[in-house]
Chains A and B, each alone.
Chain A
Amino acid sequence: MSTHVEAQEHAHPTPSTYAKIGLVLFILTALEVGLYEITFGESAGSFGHAIQPFFIPLLLFLSAIKFALVAMYYMHLKNDSKLFSGVFVFPLIIASVVILALVALQAYHWAFARSGG
């Protein structure tokens, strides 16, 4: 088992792969800021207004891709033991649920307060 795990742990990407991932991360960040400028920037036009409802989902999607790329390639979760992935992903799921639950709870609370309940 040790030999198998050791082989898994050392099958890491090459510097050129790291550089390609870095380039993708940079492009995705530029896309995020570009999306913000198109939607809310000084030169935002009718197109900006049209995509406003999709702004947050698109931004979160781009952010999720960046997160996954860093975790999989730079943190080597793609090649390392699945136990490391489990130790990271399980609390991450709990953390995401906590954020969503608290935001939903507060949204409900404020809506209830506004309705005079």
Chain B
Amino acid sequence: MTDHAHALETSTGLDSRKLAIWTFIGSECMFFATLISNYLVHKGKSLVGPFAHEVWKDPATGKVFEPIIEIPLVTVGTALLLFSSLFIVLALYGAQKGNRKMLIGWLAATILCGMFFVGMQVYEFTHFVHKGLTLSRNMFGASFFVLTGFHGTHVTIGVIWLFTMFILALRGKLTPNRSLNLEMAALYWHFVDVVWIVIFPVVYLIR
């Protein structure tokens, strides 16, 4: 009896591991809802700059702080994350069909996209700190870094998870019978993507 067939012997007829990852994703919705609420509630409440979209002049020092959000950079990151979602479903398709070349190729592409996204975020955070925005500078800094930082942490965890799947695939252990292992990682990865689909307009585009 295969792992998959064994896993179907539940009262719901569904694989418990898949139900578990969906339940986890449901709880993660609540987690990110609190962070998004926190960002929106404190939006526009900062007493000092720098701000996301507006110029601010410090009355004490006369120093001018330029708007810090850089739309082109984040758009590239967003596109990478969206493409990575496409790549991971193609990798999963390859795993389910027993196409090892497709599995390994698209999985490697997904990991690369994830790593570029994390790199983009590290660059962005460093850039913001150099421009004077820190976690304790103002309300915007606190809520921005907490929200996008937690998302970035999720992406990093996703990259590590996918990398372990990549090692399994290289060793020939991601057979069609065991493709559920990759499907669970893929579901988590897609969730990270849909969270960014919400964060991108809310944080970066809405003024």
Contacts and interface: CB of A to CB of B under 8 A. Distances in A.
Interface of A: 1-2, 4-6, 9-10, 12, 14-15, 18-19, 21-22, 25-26, 29, 32-33, 35-36, 40, 55-56, 59-60, 62-63, 66-67, 70-71, 74-75, 81, 83-84, 87-88, 90-92, 94-96, 98-99, 102-103, 106
B19 interface: yes
**Interface hub of B22, B32, B93, B191 (most chain A Cβ within 10 A):** B22
B201 A15 contact: no
Contacts of B86: 18-19, 21-22, 25, 74
Contacts of A33: 71, 75, 205
Contacts, number: 131
Given A9-B14, A63-B197, A87-B23, 19 more contacts: A5-B14, A15-B90, A22-B86, A26-B83, A29-B75, A32-B200, A62-B201, A66-B197, A70-B193, A71-B194, A74-B190, A75-B190, A84-B18, A87-B22, A88-B25, A95-B29, A98-B33, A98-B37, A102-B41
Contacts of A15: 90, 93
Contact of B85 (A70, A87, A88): A70
- Main secondary structure, interface of B, reads helix
Contact of A60 (B30, B41, B201): B201
Given A94-B30, A95-B29, A102 B194 contact: no
A5 B13 contact: yes
A9 B158 CA distance: 23
Contacts of A74: 85-86, 88-89, 190, 193
A70 B205 CA distance: 20
